[in-house]
């Protein structure tokens, strides 16, 4: 009988210790969230310093810093089409002191096995920020004056026309393959290791056209390149004379919205503070002005809507991977 009593007492003691430990952790968590942030925050930008995305993210980081009352230091972790930065963000300590821009292409690259990340489990979503503007450009002296002429030529000359992108399975490669399927044409893809060398490939006459984000805009305005079409939902204010793939009847809209995220496991109270700061920053005049300079539309979504958007995109990418046979393309 005494053994049973002792066993019961030991169990009660263990339960009491466990309760105290849990209370201690909860109090520590509350204290941390109350004082957060009390030191600088690192903002991982998955793109090279000096690029268009880097410029907008620095403005966003500045506005987040103003809201939180602590410096937000941008750290460029470029490479692998944004996946090096995504990996660093997913592996960071979930204490709120590391946040960053998350490229939407993680929903595709993770399914292709190009990055060991589960975008639905490895991040805390803080809010969508902005989309990108993509388009197809040719040299100013190209005989292709319109997209309709491009399609007509490609139908008569399958695989004859070449196009450059920043890499296999990237957003521009997928967009071009979607367009080619919709148009019923075959084009030859020439992947480069980044947007800058792809642009040089076009300027050097190595390819017939380039699919890329709006880094081509200054050269189009200078008359060195011709913009045939853009991929967004509506025409660009700066290039009102240029149609979209959607309005030309190809049914393709590709603008790859990016957002701000943190590692999974973030304290809810800290998540709330960061998300509020991100929301104010994204909707600020400063951020819109920075985005306007690169023709990038501001598209804000709160954390829950952003998370659902990533889930929906993940499902769509799974279908697209099979439709475009991207796994087979990666093997070649």
CA-based nearest residue to 207, from 138, 309, 283, 125:
138
Q: What is the mean pLDDT of residues 231-252?
A: 94
Question: Is residue 34 very low, low, confident or very high in pLDDT (cuts 50, 70, 90)?
Answer: confident
pLDDT at 292 over 80: yes
pLDDT for 30: 55
Q: What percent of the chain has pLDDT over 70?
A: 90
Average pLDDT (156-171) is 93
In the predicted model, what is the mean pLDDT of residues 268-280?
98
Residue 85: per-residue pLDDT = 95
The most confident of 211-215, 223-227, 255-259, by mean pLDDT: 223-227
Q: What is the dihedral of CA 246, 141, 199, 229, to 10 degrees?
A: -10
> What is d(CA 43, CA 58) in angstroms, rounded to the nearest whole number?
9
Helix axes 171-183 and 303-323, enclosed angle (nearest 10): 60
Q: Is the pLDDT of residue 5 over 70?
A: no
Tell me the pLDDT of the chain averaged across its residues: 90
pLDDT recorded at residue 195: 82
Predicted pLDDT of residue 168: 84
Higher pLDDT, 331 or 76: 76
Task: Establish whether the linkage from the previous residue to 37 is cis, with ω within 30° of 0.
Answer: yes
pLDDT for residue 212: 93
CB of 162 closer than 8 Å to CB of 190 = yes
DSSP symbol at 202: H
Alpha helices in the chain (DSSP H): 2-35, 52-68, 83-91, 106-109, 147-156, 171-183, 195-203, 217-221, 268-282, 285-293, 303-323, 326-331
Fold of 134-230: D-Maltodextrin-Binding Protein; domain 2 (3.40.190)
Strand pairing report for 162-165 and 209-213: parallel
The pLDDT confidence band at residue 170, using thresholds 50, 70 and 90, is confident
Q: Structure tokens of 50?
A: 């000096």
Domain ranges of the chain: 38-132+256-331, 134-230
Q: pLDDT grade, residue 19 (50/70/90)?
A: low
**pLDDT bracket for residue 53 (50, 70, 90):** confident
Distance CA 228, CA 225 (A): 10
pLDDT score, position 196: 83
Say if residue 152 is exposed, middle or buried (CB neighbours under 10 Å; 0-12, 13-18, 19+): middle
pLDDT of residue 115: 93
Q: Stretch 311-316: mean pLDDT, rounded?
A: 94
Q: Of the given ranges (11-15, 31-35, 43-47, 163-167), which has the lowest mean pLDDT?
A: 11-15
Query: Region 291-301: what's the mean pLDDT?
Result: 92
Q: Which of 76-85, 138-147, 250-259 has the highest mean pLDDT?
A: 138-147
Instruction: Assign 225 to helix, strand or coil.
Output: strand
Banded model confidence at residue 286, pLDDT cuts 50, 70, 90: very high
Contacting residues for 298 by C-beta, under 8 A, at least 6 apart = 129, 130, 282, 283, 287, 288, 291
Average pLDDT of the residues in 282-305 = 95
Check whether 67 has a pLDDT greater than 60.
yes
Q: Do residues 209 and 202 make contact, with C-beta atoms less than 8 angstroms apart?
A: yes
Location of structure tokens 């050097």: 204
Q: What integer pLDDT is reported at residue 92 of this predicted model?
A: 98
Long-range contacts of 159-162 (CB under 8 A, 24+ apart): 159/186, 159/187, 159/188, 160/188, 161/187, 161/188, 161/208, 161/209, 162/187, 162/188, 162/189, 162/190, 162/207, 162/208, 162/209
Name the nearest CA neighbour of 176 among 204, 131, 207: 207
Fold of 38-132+256-331: D-Maltodextrin-Binding Protein; domain 2 (3.40.190)
Q: Edge-to-edge strand order for the sheet containing 72-76?
A: 72-76, 41-45, 98-102, 258-263, 123-130, 298-301
pLDDT digits (tens, 9 = 90+) for 104-150: 999 999 999 999 999 999 999 999 999 989 999 999 999 999 999 99
State mean pLDDT over 247-251: 95
């Amino acid at each position: 009988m005494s053994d049973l009593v002792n066993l019961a007492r030991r169990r009660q003691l263990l339960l009491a210790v466990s309760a105290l430990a849990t209370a201690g952790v909860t109090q520590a968590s509350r204290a941390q969230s109350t004082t957060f942030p009390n030191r600088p925050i690192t903002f991982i930008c998955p793109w090279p310093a000096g690029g268009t995305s880097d410029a907008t993210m620095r403005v966003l980081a500045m506005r987040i810093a103003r809201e939180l009352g602590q410096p937000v230091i941008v750290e460029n972790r470029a490479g692998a089409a944004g996946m090096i930065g995504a990996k660093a963000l997913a592996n960071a300590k979930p204490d709120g002191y590391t946040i960053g821009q998350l490229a939407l292409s993680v929903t595709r690259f993770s399914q292709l096995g190009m990055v060991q990340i589960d975008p639905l489990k490895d991040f805390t979503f803080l809010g969508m920020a902005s989309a990108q503007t993509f388009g197809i450009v040719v040299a100013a002296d190209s005989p292709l004056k319109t997209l309709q002429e491009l399609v007509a030529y490609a139908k008569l000359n399958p695989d004859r026309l070449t196009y450059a992108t920043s890499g296999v399975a990237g957003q521009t490669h997928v967009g071009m393959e979607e367009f080619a399927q919709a148009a019923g044409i075959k084009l030859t893809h020439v992947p480069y290791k980044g947007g800058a060398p792809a642009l040089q490939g076009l300027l050097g006459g190595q390819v017939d056209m380039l699919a890329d984000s709006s880094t081509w805009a200054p050269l189009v305005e200078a008359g060195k390149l011709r913009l045939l079409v853009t991929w967004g939902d509506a025409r660009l204010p700066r290039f009102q004379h240029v149609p979209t793939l959607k309005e030309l009847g190809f049914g393709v809209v590709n603008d790859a919205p990016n957002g701000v995220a943190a590692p999974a496991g973030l304290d809810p109270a800290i998540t709330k503070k960061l998300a509020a700061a991100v929301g104010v920053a994204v909707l600020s005049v400063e951020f819109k002005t920075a985005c306007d300079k690169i023709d990038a539309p501001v598209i804000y979504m709160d954390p829950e809507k952003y998370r659902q958007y990533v889930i929906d995109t993940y499902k769509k990418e799974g279908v697209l991977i099979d439709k475009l046979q991207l796994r087979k393309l990666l093997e070649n």
